[in-house]
Amino acid sequence: MKILFVTSNRLGDAVLSTGLLDHLIRTYPDARITVVCGPVAEGVFARMPNRDRTIVLRKRRGSRHWLKLWAATLPHLWDLVVDIRGSALSWLVPTRRRAVFRRTGGAKIAEIGAILNLSPPPLPVIWTSWADGLRVAEMLGDGPLIALAPTANWLPKVWPPERFAAFFHRMAGPDMRAVVLGGPGDAERAMAAPLLAALPDAIDLVGRLSLPEVAACLERATLFIGNDSGLMHLAAAAGTPTVGLFGPTDAATYGPAGRRAVAVVADSMAAISVDEAVAAARALLDQPPTAAASSASVAGTSRRVVSS
């Protein structure tokens, strides 16, 4: 069986689509799957079982990237095309069956599940290798970790770095260390710099890991806190207790989806206090994992804590 899976250019949406892919892999264990995604999201699928190939969609003027993609997919007769972008491509390639995204409102994870009529929707997953875990273990050493992700693709989505530092000091137990994560590039490193300066003993992994290695790192963490970003979604998918911070963006739609995840919501990032973030994290850690998994599966998204 040959499946064409068209997913997002954006990291967060691509991570949210992994639950649907995992469902397809379990339903059709002999299928060969071709994934279409943007360059930022490519690493999400690098270790995916049943992956035949990844076609990276790199934008060109005049939408010529779609013509190149169409040419690459046209020669095949697909058994199933799944398109979470709702693009015209899914209607232009030969296939025995197609399942195409339609906007219905509500949580993004529920909209993705609805493509295959799955309710509750399957939660996102991560795929890593033994080598990813080994490299990360060499960098992290032993002991418990709190993962901090202080970056985002838009400045109003960024929680003040001094509050990340205060959060760590409030939550850190004996021998607990901070690991600071971020994407590649000068902008991400500049955004993370104030937090790294405030926590000089933190492990600096900003821009230093592949996405599968980031996922392996997050699996090791006792707790994750971060702005609304792709890393937040990756942490929730890894099963790490995840606190996502939301100001100007829509937590009801894009809150972290995972077995143990919570969104702290306010009108602005400045309105989220350290006390509120700490309370949300402690409540999350106190919740039994089995109960958290059940709650997330029924809701199809995370719990929400609304800041006053």
Task: Provide mean pLDDT across the span 274-279.
Answer: 98
Task: Provide mean pLDDT across the span 40-60.
Answer: 93
Q: Reply yes or no: is the peptide bond before residue 256 cis, omega within 30 of 0.
A: no
**CATH code, domain carrying 9:** 3.40.50.2000
Question: How many structural domains is the chain composed of?
Answer: 2
Residue 124, in any domain of the structure:
no
Residue 125, in any domain of the structure:
no
DSSP-assigned states of every residue in 113-160: HHTTT-SSPPPP-----HHHHHHHHHHH-SS-EEEEE---SSGGGPPP
pTM for this prediction: 0.92
The residue out of 84, 114, 144 marking a domain boundary is 114
The residue out of 90, 114, 138 marking a domain boundary is 114
The number of angstroms, rounded, from the C-alpha of 254 to the middle of its chain's C-alpha atoms is 10
Would you place residue 58 in the very low, low, confident or very high pLDDT band (cuts 50, 70, 90)? confident
Task: Provide mean pLDDT across the span 29-44.
Answer: 96
Tens-place pLDDT, residues 76-91: 899 999 999 998 888 8
Task: Provide mean pLDDT across the span 233-260.
Answer: 97
What gap in Å lies between CA 156 and CA 272, rounded to an integer? 13
Q: Among 37, 26, 75, 84, which Cα is nearest to 59's?
A: 37
Q: Indicate if 105 and 241 belong to the same structural domain.
A: no
H or E stretch covering 214:
helix 211-220
Structural domain span for residue 60: 2-114
195: helix, strand or coil: helix
The residue out of 82, 114, 146 marking a domain boundary is 114
What gap in Å lies between CA 265 and CA 255, rounded to an integer? 10
Instruction: Mark residue 157 as left, alpha or beta (left: phi above 0; alpha: psi -120 to 50; beta: remaining).
Output: alpha
Q: Cβ atoms within 10 A of the Cβ of 35, count?
A: 24
Q: Indicate if 194 and 222 belong to the same structural domain.
A: yes
pLDDT above 70: percentage of residues in the chain: 91
